[in-house]
Structure formats: structure tokens, C-alpha cells
A and B are shown apart, each in its own frame.
Chain A
Amino acid sequence: MATGQKAQTVSAPWSILRPRRRRHKDLYVALLFLAPSLLGLFLLQVLPIGTALVLGVSEWNIIDPIKFVGLKNFVEVATDATFYHTLENTLYITAGLEVLNTLLGLCAALLLKNAMRGIDLYRTIYFLPLITTWAAVAIAWRYMYSLEGPINALLGPLGIDPIPWLSRPEWAMPAVIITITWKTLSWKTIILLAGLQSIPNEFYEASSIDGASRWQQFWKITLPLLSPALFFALIIGIINTLQLFDPIFIMTDGGPADSTRTLSYYIYTRGFQNLRMGYAAALSWVLFAIILLFTLVQWVLQKRWVFYQ
């Protein structure tokens, strides 16, 4: 025992790195590992966001001094018709985008997992939309959607009249969702592909010996073991899509007739164009609450379907 104690004194600087069973003993190690993150979190997130919190209860036109106004901004949000309209648009986009992206992303990941000939090339091609600049994407898709463009040409034989996709309020949103899905699909694909690659082959081999069909393997092995990656992709996807701004700005500028304006775009407009930073901050907090609600619900539900080894 004496030698053991001695060894511990000698290795004192490292000893905290040694895992302990007891819960709080990991605290110091955790602080070491977390130190850079916490510094970054504080400087890049907590502080600016804290300032934004103060702005939410203030009136600030960026140029004059900040004026505290209490909950006035939040009362205004409650009766702001544009807020509700843009929130509705945001939820529409989020639902469409997440469903399409998750299903297609899963299909693409399953396809690209196979070690077929030329897989490197295919993987790269599936990745290309993510790196093609939005300027090129917007121009190419404007052609796709045009009256005499390929999409309407495909619909023609089905007896569907040419659809003016981007200039009718009722069609602009589906068009936007399709284009953004095309552009961001590989984001989900990469996450899911990386997740698939982490599933040991032995599981499949063992179940093949037991005579499981491919379909059974998908439900019994692939999906459960992929669930942490799927969960992650959904959580992040929804957090990001609820704040969607840039693609809308580039493709439709919120039009036609505000049918594609998102809440995030509206927040930007109020802040930097109407110089109501306080109100923009208040809207941001409302959006924050909505995103947090979505995330917490998913977090609670994860116990039902996310499988950690």
C-alpha cells in the first residue's frame, strides 16, 4: 500500500487524468478537456448572445444609445402579423426539407456505402452540390424551373400544364424546398454515410448466417445502429432549417408576395434594414424558444428510438 501511495504522489500532475468510478472525480479532467471549448463558448457565444438578450428588452437603432423598454418588444411580437406569416413559412420549409433530406439522404448513404466500382467518383459527385456556389445553383435551377425548362417538359406528358414555379406564391415554396434539398442533401448523406461506416461488418455477417433477409437486416441492424447519426442529423437539421436565410435571400428574396420569406429573413430585415435591433433581438428570442422546444421534444423522444452501444 505504501508503494501505491508513493506512486500517486510522484505522478500527481497526471493522476487527475486517470479515470475514476466516482462521479465528481472526473470533474477536473473534464475541465481540462473542456477548457478550450468553454473559452470559445464564452467568447464566441455566451457573451454576444448575452448582449443580444439585453437588446431584446431594449430599443436600439444601432446609431443612438440603447434604451431599455422592458417587455414592449415581446408584446409587439405577439400581434405582429408578419411574424406569424414568416413563422408559418419557416415551419413549412422545415417540414418539407427535413422529410425530403432525411429520406433521400438515407437512400443516398445506403447506395454509396456499397463498394461498387468507381465508388470514389460517385461519392465525389454526390458531394458536388454542396460545393457548387449558390450563384451557379440559382442560375441553373432558374432554368430548370422555367416554363420551357426540363421540369415542365417532364410534366408535359403527364398532362400537366407548364407551372410558373418561381412566380406564383403557391408554387414558389415547393420549388425552393426542392432546390435546397438538392443543394444540401449531401450534408445529411455524409453524416449518415460516416455513421454507416461505423457499423461493424460482423453484425451483418452473423445475421446472414442466421438467415436474416436484407430487409430484416436494415430494420434490425442498420437502423438501430445508425440511430445516433440519424438523431444528430435531425436535431442539427431542424436547428439550422428553422434559421434558414441565405438560400432564400439568393433565390427568391422572400417573394413572390412574401410567400417564401422566413422568420430569420424577417429578423434580419427588422435589424439591419429597419434599424430595430431591439425588436430583431426579441424576435430572435422567440425563434430561440421555438427551436429549443423542438430540440427538447426530440431530446426526450430519443430514448424511444436512439440506440447507443
Chain B
Amino acid sequence: MKLRRRETVSLQLVTVLGAAALLFPFLWMISASLQTLQEVEAFPPIWIPEVPQWTNYVEAVVNYNIGRALLNSAIVTTVSVAGQLIVCSLGAYAFSRLRFPGRDAIFLLFLATMMIPHYVTIIPLYTMVWSAGLIDTYPALIFPGLFSPFGTFLLRQFFNQIPISLDEATLIDGGNHWHIYLYVIMPLSRAGLGALGIFSFLGIWNTLFWPVLVINSKELFTLPLALAMAQGQFITLIHIQMAGSVIACVPVIVVFLMLQKQFISSIALSGMKQ
């Protein structure tokens, strides 16, 4: 689809304007991470620190153990996201491609579980993890991230967009459901898998409430717990917190850049599928 030059320019302009509006708190976060506490608290906000305080980053890493927290978060998030992608894609395949009694009912049950505020389910869940002797361990952090009704639903939607005719082609070649899942559905659903990967990565990366309950040792603090260390009841060291936040953002941006390639590549693939 070719765009006319005038259209291209105006589209670009709109995109830039939108981007500028979306960018400023992020820029402020970076700027604040290089300010003194007094500068951070000034009003109206200071956008360019007088002398960039690179020591904020040193302090965040040294005093607030951001390095260790980064490692913990990386382990927990990677395992959870990988597990979630596998579990959800298998489940979504069943809902999208298989016919079995009670399919829609079970699917609605999946959906229904998303509709209960998790505050009332947190105590039973905690008791379960405690009974299993998993308090203050990595598995306690990973376990709840392995399955997601949301992820199953998301992938099912993407799987549904892939023409059934491709399944039939595989069957004619003597393949079975496992082949369809592995060689047809998964490669063609990179956009969906990429999107789910980003969402679940982000969700698990930022979660604070659950780690607070199941983690006691400082050595197992995840990033949100470590960032909360800069927060006092009356004084919050915002500049340190922002430095830590910037560090915490870097892996997420890297993951986004990696996964958004999946969106792009899906154009090429979708061209092939008809």
C-alpha cells in the first residue's frame, strides 16, 4: 500500500506529536534520576539538573541492592513468562482448534476467574504456598505466573485468525495436532505470542503485592521491593527511586524491542498464509 507524500508527512507529524505527549513523564523520570533530592522536590519541576548526579545510580546499586534485585527479577520473570507462553498456547490451541464437549463452558470458566478481585483470594493462595513449604523461595514467586486465563484468551483470539485451511494442509501431509500446533499455529502467531510476552513480562516484573507476602529475605527481593526501600513513611528519596526505576526499565525496553520484531515479522508471514 503506497502512501502519497503529503499523507506520509502529515501522518509522521501526528505520530511525533503523539509521541511527545507520551514521552514527558519518562523524560522526567530520567532527569529526576540525575538530580539532587532538593532539585527533585522543587516546583515547578527542574528539567535539566545543574550537575548530573551520576552517584544516584551508584547509590541505588550499592545501598539498595538493585543489582541483586535485577538478577532475582530476571530469573523469576524469565521462567514465569516462558512457562506462561507454553501453558497458555497449549490451552489456547485446544480452545481454538479442538472440538470437545463442554469447551465453551470451560472457556467461560477461564474467563470467570478473571472477574474476582484478587484481594479475597490472596490468603488461600498464601496458605497453599506456605503449606508446600515454599515461603521465601523462588518457586513461590514463579508459581502464580505460570498460568494466566488472560494469556489463554489472548492467544485463542490470535489462533482463531489463522485459516483452518492451513491445518487441513498439514493433515493431508500426514501431520497430527501436535504438528499443527508446533509448525502452523505457533509460527503464525508470533504477533500474539509477542504481545502476551510483553504483557506478562511487564506484569510479573512490576508486581509488588505478592512478593511482599511471600518473600522475607533481602537476598530474594525483586525490583519493586528494592525500589520501595527508597520510600519512607515521611521522606521518599525520589531521586534514588527514579535512578532505580530507570535501571529497572532498561530490561523491559530491551524485551520490547526484541518482541516487537515479532509484530513486524508477522507481516511477512501473513502474506504467505493465504
Contact = CB atoms under 8 A, between A and B. Distances in A.
Q: Do the two shown chains form a genuine complex with each other?
A: yes
Interface of A: 14, 17-19, 23-24, 26-27, 29-30, 33-34, 36-37, 39-41, 43-49, 51-52, 55, 62, 108, 111-112, 114, 116-117, 120, 122-133, 135-137, 139-141, 143, 146, 148-149, 182, 185-187, 190-191, 193-195, 197-202, 204-205, 208, 225, 228-229, 231-232, 235-236, 239-240, 242-243, 245, 264, 267-268, 271-272, 277, 280-281, 284, 287-288, 291-292, 295, 308-309
Contacts of B100: 23-24, 26-27, 30
A57 to B, nearest CB: 13
A193 B227 CA distance: 32
20 contacts: A33-B93, A37-B147, A48-B125, A124-B260, A131-B249, A132-B245, A136-B242, A136-B245, A139-B32, A146-B44, A195-B191, A208-B1, A225-B161, A264-B119, A268-B117, A277-B120, A280-B119, A284-B119, A288-B116, A308-B160
B148 to A, nearest CB: 8
A116 B125 CA distance: 48
Size class of the B contact interface (CB-based, 8 Å): 35 or more
Contacts of A267: 117, 119-120
A35 B273 CA distance: 30
Contact of B273 (A43, A190, A200): A200
Given A55-B120, A201-B271, A187 B199 contact: yes
A135 B241 contact: yes
B113 interface: yes
A284 to B, nearest CB: 5
A190 B194 CA distance: 9
B88 A37 contact: yes
Interface centre among B100, B143, B178 (most CB of A within 10 A): B100
A266 to B, nearest CB: 10
Contacts of B270: 197-201
Interface string B4-48: 000010011011101101111110110010000000000111000
B274 interface: yes
B15 A49 contact: no
Nearest to B181: A33
A37 B25 contact: no
Given A33-B93, A114-B11, A236-B153, A132 B29 contact: yes
B62 interface: no
B94 A30 contact: yes
A216 B10 CA distance: 20
B169 interface: no
A39 B152 CA distance: 14
Contacts of A49: 113, 116, 121
Nearest to A37: B91
Interface of B: 1, 3, 8, 11-12, 14-16, 18-19, 21-26, 28-29, 32, 43-45, 86-88, 90-91, 93-94, 98-101, 103, 106, 109-117, 119-125, 128, 143-144, 146-147, 149-150, 152-154, 157-158, 160-163, 167, 171, 176-178, 180-181, 191-192, 194-195, 198-199, 202, 206, 227, 238, 241-242, 245, 248-249, 252-253, 256-257, 260, 263-264, 266-267, 270-271, 273-274
B116 A137 contact: no
B73 to A, nearest CB: 13
A197 B125 contact: no
Contacts of A185: 22
Contacts of B143: 44
A205 B29 CA distance: 44
A117 to B, nearest CB: 8
Contact of B101 (A27, A116, A123): A27
A271 B245 contact: no
A141 B22 CA distance: 11
A44 B115 contact: no
A33 B94 contact: yes
B201 to A, nearest CB: 10
A120 B61 CA distance: 30
Give the 4 A-B CB pairs with smallest separation, nearest first.
Answer: A40-B147, A37-B91, A140-B25, A48-B121
A124 B118 CA distance: 31
A243 to B, nearest CB: 5
Contacts of B238: 135, 139
B178 A120 contact: no
A40 B22 CA distance: 37
B20 to A, nearest CB: 9
B122 to A, nearest CB: 8
